[in-house]
């Protein structure tokens, strides 16, 4: 993943140099970003919880089993070059006495981000730990029938440290609610085959990105505006800032990860909105085209989630048949989760879009922030009939193109019979 991100960063530099740009500014994205610019981080945006509203289950149906896939919580990014670059420029400005109060704030914030990273790429932050503990507690309180008494749960994690610690925080939170729970924890390469199937998706992503930049139009990118915000003498600052665009990139990439370390300084505030929007849109296009249900390459990319779908179905059918398992909990990464919910046809995140529609209809800060989660809640009645409800980011979601049994509830057998249909 690190290698792909480096390649993607280099690709964006070439695209900018060639004057290739993104689509028009999406009104929905503009509104959300102006409300809270930290959302510009997209998949680096910390988890946002919104009030829950539950649709009452059909008469006679009670929850008995949960199938879950959770992305790890808030983490550091890769490499400290952006943070170091900002600090180096701002310290030179400080030595020359040309920093504004915003410039002093930027320097302090960048130092805190660097300290949080501390040379550890992809490090789960304490905010990430708290995110998973809170999600687990809400899940328990929302469906106490599932977790009441002495119940058996299974939890598996990607072999990556941030996922293992996320699993630990999530399951510990459940046990704090009910010490009688028996939870089997596991991790290993075998589980990576369905938790983080990476076979072939890099090639799909490359083709999708090339196509996206062929279709994009130019939009404004104010790379000089930040200089007037952080320096009292922007002209003198150009002696320090060799490339305004590169400096703007560094400030943006520092801002993207600041919230993940609970940094209070508002680094985004020194960036012109056009600069923020452009960089958000680039990343938003990459996330959707590379890992979701795009018209162009989605069918090929989404099919790679089949092994995880099969794991969900197999374990759910076992739980239904035996009644011995109350929950199966999986902890992995953003790219596999995007492909998974696209395969399952979760409305909103799994929609099938043309390139030109992406930034208007698919917003990464809602769809794949840190600690993103899919929860499938299983219900049954006394006759043994099974219904399921899909939650994404803890909110009820419908399935694209499939008629529910009632409200957001679907018959489990109907869902299984139409799994291939969701990809179309």
- Residue 190 is part of a domain; what is its CATH number? 3.40.50.1240
CA-CA distance, 52 to 389, in Å (whole number)? 14
Is 186 a member of any domain? yes
C-alpha span between 69 and 22 (Å, rounded): 32
E strands, 72-200, are 152-157, 182-187
In this structure, is residue 95 part of a structural domain?
A: no
When pLDDT is averaged across residues 107-111 and rounded to a whole number, the result is: 98
Whether the pLDDT of residue 94 is over 90: the answer is yes
Q: Is residue 259 part of a domain?
A: no
Calculate mean pLDDT across residues 269-294.
92
Judged against a pLDDT cut of 90, whether residue 217 lies above it is answered with no
Asked whether 271 and 252 are in contact (CB, 8 A), the reply is yes
Model pTM score: 0.91
- What is residue 222's predicted lDDT score, i.e. its pLDDT? 86
Structural domain of residue 345, as residue ranges? 48-77+124-200+293-423
Segment 381-403 mean pLDDT: 97
* 209 band by pLDDT with thresholds 50, 70 and 90: low
| C-alpha span between 228 and 244 (Å, rounded) | 11
Number of domains in the chain: 1
In-domain check, residue 21: no
Q: Does residue 220 have a pLDDT over 80?
A: no
The pLDDT-based confidence of 300 (bands split at 50, 70, 90) is confident
Q: Is residue 380 part of a domain?
A: yes
């Amino acid at each position: 993943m690190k290698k792909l991100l480096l390649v993607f960063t280099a690709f964006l530099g070439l695209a900018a140099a060639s004057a290739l740009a993104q689509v028009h500014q999406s009104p929905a994205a503009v509104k959300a970003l102006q409300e809270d610019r930290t959302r510009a981080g997209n998949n680096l945006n910390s988890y946002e919880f919104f009030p829950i509203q539950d649709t009452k289950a059909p008469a006679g149906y009670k929850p008995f089993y949960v199938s879950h896939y959770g992305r790890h919580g808030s983490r550091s990014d890769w490499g400290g070059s952006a943070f170091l670059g900002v600090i180096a420029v701002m310290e030179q400005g400080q030595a020359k006495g040309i920093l504004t109060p915003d410039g002093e704030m930027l320097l302090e914030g960048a130092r805190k981000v660097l300290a949080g990273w501390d040379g550890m790429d992809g490090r789960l932050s304490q905010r990430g730990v708290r995110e998973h503990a809170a999600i687990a507690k809400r899940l328990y309180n929302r469906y106490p029938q599932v977790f009441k008494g002495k119940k058996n749960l299974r939890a598996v994690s990607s072999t990556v440290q941030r996922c293992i610690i996320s699993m630990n925080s999530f399951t510990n939170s459940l046990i704090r609610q009910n010490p009688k729970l028996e939870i089997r924890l596991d991790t290993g390469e075998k589980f990576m085959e369905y938790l983080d199937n990476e076979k072939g998706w890099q090639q799909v992503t490359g083709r999708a990105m090339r196509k996206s930049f062929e279709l994009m139009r130019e939009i404004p990118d104010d790379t000089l505006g930040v200089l007037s915000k952080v320096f009292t003498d922007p002209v003198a600052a150009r002696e320090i800032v060799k490339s305004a665009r590169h400096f703007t990139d560094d400030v943006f990439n520092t801002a993207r990860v600041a919230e993940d370390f609970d940094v209070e300084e508002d680094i985004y505030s020194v960036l012109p909105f056009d600069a923020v929007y452009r960089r958000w849109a680039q990343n938003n296009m990459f996330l959707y085209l590379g890992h979701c249900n795009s018209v162009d390459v989605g069918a090929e990319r989404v099919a790679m989630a089949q092994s995880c779908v099969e794991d969900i179905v197999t374990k759910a059918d076992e739980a239904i048949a035996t009644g011995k398992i109350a929950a199966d909990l999986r902890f992995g990464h953003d790219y596999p989760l995007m492909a998974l919910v696209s395969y399952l046809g979760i409305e909103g995140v799994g929609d099938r879009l043309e390139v030109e529609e992406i930034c208007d209809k698919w917003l990464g800060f809602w769809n794949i922030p840190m600690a993103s989660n899919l929860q499938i809640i299983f219900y049954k009645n006394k006759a043994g009939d099974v219904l399921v409800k899909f939650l994404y980011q803890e909110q009820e979601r419908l399935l694209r193109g499939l008629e529910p049994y009632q409200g957001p509830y679907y018959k489990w057998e109907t869902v299984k019979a139409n799994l291939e249909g969701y990809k179309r």
